[in-house]
Copies of this chain bind each other. A is one copy, B any other.
Amino acid sequence: MSFGQSLSLVTLPVADVARARAFYERLGWKASSDSQPGVAFFDCGGTVLSLYGRDDLARDCGRPIAAPGGVTLASNVADAEAVALAVDAFAAAGGTVVSEPEMAPWGGTIAYVADPDGHLWEIAHNPFWPLDAAGRVTLPPPAGA
């Protein structure tokens, strides 16, 4: 048994689950009906984004949880204009703009924003990675696959 190449959930520890959930709902996100007062689940096309209390996660892990901002999450969008619109939507919902949209050296357009708990999101348009009908990136397979 190996450790399968899967990413089932990403859990963001938050100070207040209801407040954090309300932020993502202001972005238009819809939580699963499995969500509860102490945890919220958003289906992001297979991988689930989970909002969970910082103290609860520390108890589960058996150790303190580090400060946010040590990982970035990315949402890829259809074109450069959509990057700017998504940054505006994020800010309007109560997030923070970390860096305005700019052309990256590799040819895409990226911006960084942070949610109210300080979790970093990259909003990106990557012209080399088409999005499928469900909005998922289509990645070239491993060599020889």
Q: Is the CB of B9 within 8 A of A76?
A: yes
Task: Pick the contact of A139: B5, B13, B43, B119 (CB < 8 A).
Answer: B43
* CA gap between A34 and B76 in the complex, in Å: 16
Q: Is the CB of B71 within 8 A of A4?
A: no
Task: Pick the contact of A66: B68, B135, B145 (CB < 8 A).
Answer: B68
- Which A residues are within 8 Å of any B CB, using their own CB? 1-13, 27-34, 41-49, 57, 60-63, 65-77, 82, 85-86, 88-90, 93, 98-99, 104, 110, 112, 119-120, 122-124, 128-129, 134-137, 139-143, 145
A122 contact set on B, CB distance < 8 A: 9, 11, 60
Question: A47 to chain B: closest CB distance in Å?
Answer: 4
* CA gap between A82 and B42 in the complex, in Å: 25
A82 contact set on B, CB distance < 8 A: 1
Q: Is the CB of A72 within 8 A of B61?
A: yes
